């Protein structure tokens, strides 16, 4: 029963992956309303499965006796269930935000060139999403230390995948923290508050003079990303 609940949550995540990678419309799937809605349903179902799994593991003091699990297995499964809860909570937030971010992320080939692709509203949405996700990722990082892949009934390939995933969590956390800290600077560079004119300069080795000076072509490029 314990493992079937875990498998159910994982199957929903596999179904979600299939929606975006194996669909004929996969290149636009992240911004297709029908696929996003289907993904939201799969993500919510997975979230509920992980919650039920965590409740079973936490509320039954005799779980090691009734399920035949070793204490170390219960510890790993409880941590993984909490990781699943946090990860699917982040996923729900991302899927909720995607439709509003679609013009900035996909609109570059669709929208009028005069219209800004990134606005203050776009940055605010990204900031809100990061502020929501970062505490969950911090909790995931904490829970990951309680997982011992060797204790779980999974094959060698799955064990290696889980190990790689757990090791990547601190890097993902620090990377998102850095993005959050640099969001204002990114907005300034894209010209969100006001237009920017960037000096674009190209050169190759043939354009390096013997004296050390540079001879290169340059052009002024107005920013069209924000306004």
d(CA 90, CA 46) in angstroms, rounded, equals 12
Residue 71: pLDDT above 90? no
pLDDT tens string 142-191: 999 999 999 888 889 988 989 999 999 999 999 999 999 998 888 887 77
d(CA 11, CA 201) in angstroms, rounded, equals 50
d(CA 100, CA 86) in angstroms, rounded, equals 22
d(CA 157, CA 22) in angstroms, rounded, equals 22
Cβ atoms of 134 and 184 closer than 8 Å: no
pLDDT for the residue numbered 144: 95
Residue 104: pLDDT above 70? no
For 107, the token pair is 């609109």
Residue 216: pLDDT above 80? no
Residue 192: pLDDT above 60? yes
Rg for the chain, CA atoms, rounded? 23
Say what the pTM is: 0.77
Residue 204: pLDDT above 70? no
Cβ atoms of 82 and 58 closer than 8 Å: no
């Amino acid at each position: 029963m314990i493992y079937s609940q875990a498998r159910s949550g994982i199957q929903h995540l596999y179904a979600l992956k299939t929606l975006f990678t194996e669909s004929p419309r996969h290149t636009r799937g992240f911004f297709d309303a029908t696929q996003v809605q289907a993904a939201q349903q799969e993500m919510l179902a997975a979230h509920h499965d992980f919650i039920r799994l965590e409740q079973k593991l936490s509320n039954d003091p005799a779980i090691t006796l009734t399920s035949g699990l070793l204490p170390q297995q219960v510890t790993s499964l409880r941590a993984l269930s909490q990781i699943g809860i946090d990860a699917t909570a982040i996923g729900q937030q991302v899927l909720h935000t995607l439709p509003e971010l679609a013009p900035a992320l996909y609109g570059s080939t669709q929208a009028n060139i005069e219209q800004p692709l990134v606005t203050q509203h776009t940055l605010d949405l990204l900031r809100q999403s990061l502020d929501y996700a970062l505490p969950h990722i911090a909790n995931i990082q904490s829970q990951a230390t309680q997982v011992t892949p060797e204790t779980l009934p999974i094959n060698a390939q799955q064990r290696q995948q889980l190990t790689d995933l757990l090791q990547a969590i601190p890097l993902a956390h620090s990377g998102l923290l850095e993005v959050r800290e640099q969001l204002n600077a990114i907005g300034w560079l894209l010209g969100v508050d006001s237009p920017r004119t960037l000096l674009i300069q190209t050169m190759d080795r043939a354009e390096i003079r013997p004296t050390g000076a540079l001879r290169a072509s340059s052009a002024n490029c107005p920013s069209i990303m924000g306004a």
